[in-house]
Every structure is written in structure tokens, then in C-alpha cells.
Amino acid sequence: IEMSTPASNLVMYIILRRDLISALNWPVGAVATQAAHAATAALWTFKDDAATVEYMTDMDNMHKVTLGVDSEAELEAAKERLEKKNLMHRVWVEDGMKVAIALKPYPKNTAKDATRQLKLF
């Protein structure tokens, strides 16, 4: 029987703009870098949060889910849903545009209502 680790229930959600590739012709690597920036910024911003500390103690088993939106306006709408649910997050801005959002690590079901309408990136 495999035992789950204490942090196995924690997930970090990243919301990333698809139009950076499709409309603005950013290279895939540059978009991946934006997701990394957002995740790193969120982990540092919330470094003293108990769930973040727990998440980082089991780095070999980190769980991230990358969701996509089709525009900066949709990213802003996602941000507003997160704020209404009091979900802590970090918006990443590149070249004056909001390009990604990373939530601090949360138990799987905590962020579900605010993210369920988003599809995987």
C-alpha cells in the first residue's frame, strides 16, 4: 500500500494566456518562462504561508496544474474570481501585460470553484 505524503493534497494552479502564442507569436519557450516566473513569484510571495512551506518540503512530489485563458481580459476575469473566493495569488506582468497568474499552493478542492471553467493549457 502506497502512503501519501502530507503535501500530496496540495496543488499549485497556474493560469497562462494562450494568445501569447496564437495571436502575439511568442515562442513556446518564452511562454513557459512566464509560467515559471509566475510560479516562482507566488512561492516567494507566500513563502511563510503554512501550505506553501508544506508544499516545498516535498519538492520531488510537487503538483502543478496549468490552465489557459485566451486573452488578457479573460486573465483579468480569472483574477477577479480568485479575489472573490479570497484565493491568494500572484499576477505576473511582462512587457506591461498581465501574462500569467499563479496561486499559492492550496488543497485540491479549495480552488476548484474559481478555476473549474478553465481548460488545461
Would residue 59 count as lying in a domain?
A: yes
Would residue 67 count as lying in a domain?
A: yes
Question: What's the CATH number where 40 sits?
Answer: 3.40.1490.10
Would residue 90 count as lying in a domain?
A: yes
In this model, does residue 90 exceed pLDDT 80? Answer: yes
Please give the average per-residue pLDDT across 41-45, as a whole number.
Answer: 99
Three cell numbers written together for 35: 509560467
Would residue 65 count as lying in a domain?
A: yes
Residue 14 neighbours by CB under 8 Å, 6+ apart? 35, 38, 39, 64, 65, 66, 67, 100, 101, 102, 103, 121
Would residue 68 count as lying in a domain?
A: yes
In this model, does residue 20 exceed pLDDT 80? Answer: yes
Residues 29/33/34/37 CA torsion (nearest 10 deg): 180
Percent of the chain having pLDDT more than 90? 88
Would residue 6 count as lying in a domain?
A: no
Would residue 62 count as lying in a domain?
A: yes
Would residue 111 count as lying in a domain?
A: yes
**Residue 54, domain extent:** 12-120
Select the more confidently predicted residue: 72 or 113: 72
Tally the domains of the chain.
Answer: 1
pLDDT at position 8, please?
A: 67
pLDDT at position 5, please?
A: 46
